Amino acid sequence: MQALPIAAAGMLDAQTRFDNSAHRTAQAPLDNLAEEMVERIQAKTAFSANAAVVKTADDMTGVLLDMLA
């Protein structure tokens, strides 16, 4: 199933984007604060969407295993 590795990579990318944005804000708190907040909100949303894909893929696998049992 390709959904799990793709979603995991998406979660890792979102986490990296969020961390980089937080680091930039810590280095220069008043430079582009609004842009960094938008970046963090987008990263949070991307992470949540990919986590939902992982949960759905896990649920689908469980249903398939239940059908085969």
69: which DSSP letter? -
Please give the pLDDT value at position 1: 62
Q: Which pLDDT band, with edges at 50, 70 and 90, does 66 fall under?
A: confident
Q: Considering the entire predicted model, what is its pTM?
A: 0.86
Give mean pLDDT, residues 35-46: 97
Distance of CA 36 to the CA centre of its chain: 17
